[in-house]
Chain A
């Protein structure tokens, strides 16, 4: 293990490009090259006419780095450690302990090309990068124009999955999202890809997630454990001494970093144990009589408007998603909090550093509860998909779970009740919107005054 780690750290000395912050350097061709092409096709020169472009590099998480006052020296050291542990977008690497399949990662990573046998490589850059970005930070070139924004993998939080709220998704969950896409969003279906290619992409998404988690943990590790301290030099003068992040020579740091990585990997490995298994006896039959379905829909409706399930508070009295709309998901909230800290910042250097990052962020969007009358279900339209949403909530969003939070825990609602909510939700697109709702807001004045 340690040996491999050493090799990893040595590799980086040769191959890792300098850390890139929010401002990725613009890759101009050499001046001579540029002038030669200027008279011809300038645009082509920028897009593909140069053969001296730097290979794409992973971008640092500058919201985390600036929030934790990570100095440029530490930023470089963090990039070095990440390079050692994970390689580069062209040459991915993963320690065996991560369980990541390097063969699959190599198929997904790197530039787009096909070998002589017709095997496609560079799949991530072919299919994903324009929205999700090289780093998997959800900041590809098209991201700004999409609503919802593409997923930022670095928090390793995924919404549409079969596991308990805090658990990671299973490989099958990620596979399903790639095959089905996310209806109602810009995420398309990749069902035409061979399943080996989908598997390679799933592996690469996990790789970018684990790398992103490790990056955040390293930034926090540097903040919590390292930094500068006043020390006396040989002449008795107080000087600031910086403790570098250097796991190559510091055994304690090496141990801590491998421990942190192991914790992250454990979280992913535990996902298959955290799959929500509905109680067999309470799963509705496929061939229920219409009266039976109607009774279940009615029961679900009562729960939807009642104080125990409380769906109405956010999804609104008509199910249009026009209830509580003042909140954000975790990704947008993190940016909102960052912007708020900038607003209250008084130190000029921090104002400057945070402003640059703030300018690079997309506008913060509120989490609008799903309009349940459209019949469009982002996480899938099978009953089990909607059951999982009601049971576990939707990780990273305001949507809470109503089932047990982990195996053996006590939930708010029973399986039968949640299946009834599923039946009601699936019936909502076909219920006349003009049908008077019995559970309009308790206080109609509040609606008008709230404006």
Chain B
């Protein structure tokens, strides 16, 4: 809450406003940057499709662990706000209703679509099977109850997660063990996934020093990554960054050594 006014009358108003809109536009800021693999990356390997080959073998399935776009952009990396246990964060009014729409993970063509997903606590997740073969969804969580259910052809299940997870959860299909995806469940909206060109942005965060986690499925936390003038990620893949009020902290091109991805 933002108590800065002097007179008693103004203070009261400030408190009332605080519950509706925590702060003015100038107190929010953004973070952006672009993750780039600093070196050449071999083309993704073909997967060993050895079950339901007639159906799953129709499309040439490739390993999606490391997706590198044009100019070496690293896709599918998670960047999200780190909060100490029990701490919460002010949420911009525009984001208050984010996560109210159901999210979908589809079993399609014997892969998960999307490969990576952001989910809010209490947001509905529909796990769908658009394939003509049966799948199962084995969802391995740390904080929420894990589950493993069959999803028949054209079937679907819906799930909701009560607690946030510290890291993306691994989702697999055991019938087709090459299938995997990662879902990050958080109870705030400040998280993103790098796009095909490696760029990412988180907007409308409360200005000031915030800590972020940089994570990629290949080796987990992206540790010791140089972030230009903003410093570098620590041993845990975390970095404290100053989010400017009314502005954007642009980390520019962030180079990731191939060894950091196990390459």
Chain A: residues with CB nearer than 8 A to chain B?
69, 165-167, 220-221, 223-225, 227, 256, 307-310, 313-314, 323-324, 326-327, 330, 341, 343-344, 346, 393, 395, 398-402, 405, 410, 412, 442-443, 446, 450
Contact = CB atoms under 8 A, between A and B. Distances in A.
Interface stretch (B20-28, B95-103, B146-154): B146-154
5 contacts: A166-B145, A225-B84, A313-B52, A324-B51, A400-B137
A326 B50 contact: yes
B259 interface: yes
A165 B150 contact: no
Given A220-B142, A310-B134, 9 more contacts: A69-B235, A165-B148, A167-B145, A224-B84, A224-B85, A225-B84, A309-B134, A324-B51, A393-B149
B167 to A, nearest CB: 9
A303 B234 CA distance: 52
Contacts of B140: 330
Nearest to A255: B86
A387 to B, nearest CB: 15
Contacts of A346: 259
The 9 closest A-B pairs by CB, nearest first: A344-B262, A398-B174, A166-B145, A310-B134, A400-B136, A446-B53, A308-B152, A443-B54, A400-B148
A393 B152 contact: no
B134 A313 contact: yes
Given A220-B142, A310-B150, A310-B175, A412 B54 contact: no
Given A344-B262, A393-B149, A223 B236 contact: yes
A398 B85 CA distance: 32
Contact of A402 (B53, B54, B150, B218): B150
B247 interface: no
A410 to B, nearest CB: 7
A220 B153 CA distance: 38
Contact of A412 (B50, B52, B150, B236): B150
B130 to A, nearest CB: 13
B219 A344 contact: yes
A310 B236 contact: no
Given A307-B134, A400-B150, A446-B50, A412 B174 contact: no
Given A220-B142, A310-B152, A166 B147 contact: yes
B133 interface: yes
Contacts of B57: 446
Contacts of A399: 148, 174
B147 A165 contact: yes
B39 interface: no
Given A310-B175, A443-B54, A412 B155 contact: yes
Interface size range of chain B in the complex: 35 or more
Interface in B60-87: 84-86
A32 to B, nearest CB: 47
A128 B57 CA distance: 47
Contacts of B235: 69, 227
A398 B53 CA distance: 20
B41 interface: no
Contacts of A327: 174, 177
Interface in B206-243: 218-220, 235-236
A349 to B, nearest CB: 11
Contacts of A330: 140
A308 B134 contact: yes
A302 to B, nearest CB: 13
Interface string B11-53: 0000000000000000000000000000000000000001111
B89 interface: no
B175 A314 contact: yes
B166 A450 contact: no
B2 interface: no
B48 to A, nearest CB: 8
Contact of B166 (A220, A402, A442): A220
B175 A324 contact: yes
B149 A326 contact: no
A224 B262 CA distance: 23
A346 B219 CA distance: 12
Contacts of B145: 166-167
Contact of A324 (B86, B148, B174): B174
B185 to A, nearest CB: 15
A350 to B, nearest CB: 10
Nearest to A367: B174
A323 B175 CA distance: 9
Interface in B145-177: 145-153, 155, 157, 166, 174-175, 177
Q: Which of A224, A227, A343, A443 is most buried by chain B, counting CB atoms within 10 A of its CB?
A: A224
A450 B53 contact: yes
Contacts of A398: 136, 138, 148, 174-175
Nearest to A401: B149
B188 to A, nearest CB: 16
Contact of A309 (B54, B85, B150, B218): B150
Contacts of B146: 165-166
B262 to A, nearest CB: 3
A225 B133 CA distance: 44
A69 B235 CA distance: 9
A256 B134 contact: no
Nearest to A323: B51
A243 B155 CA distance: 49
A78 to B, nearest CB: 16
Contacts of B157: 405, 410
Contacts of A220: 142, 166
Nearest to A369: B174
B88 to A, nearest CB: 15
Contacts of B150: 308-310, 400-402, 412
A405 B177 contact: no
A450 B134 contact: no
Given A166-B145, A166-B146, A223-B236, A412 B85 contact: no
A221 B149 contact: no
A346 B218 CA distance: 14
A307 B153 contact: yes
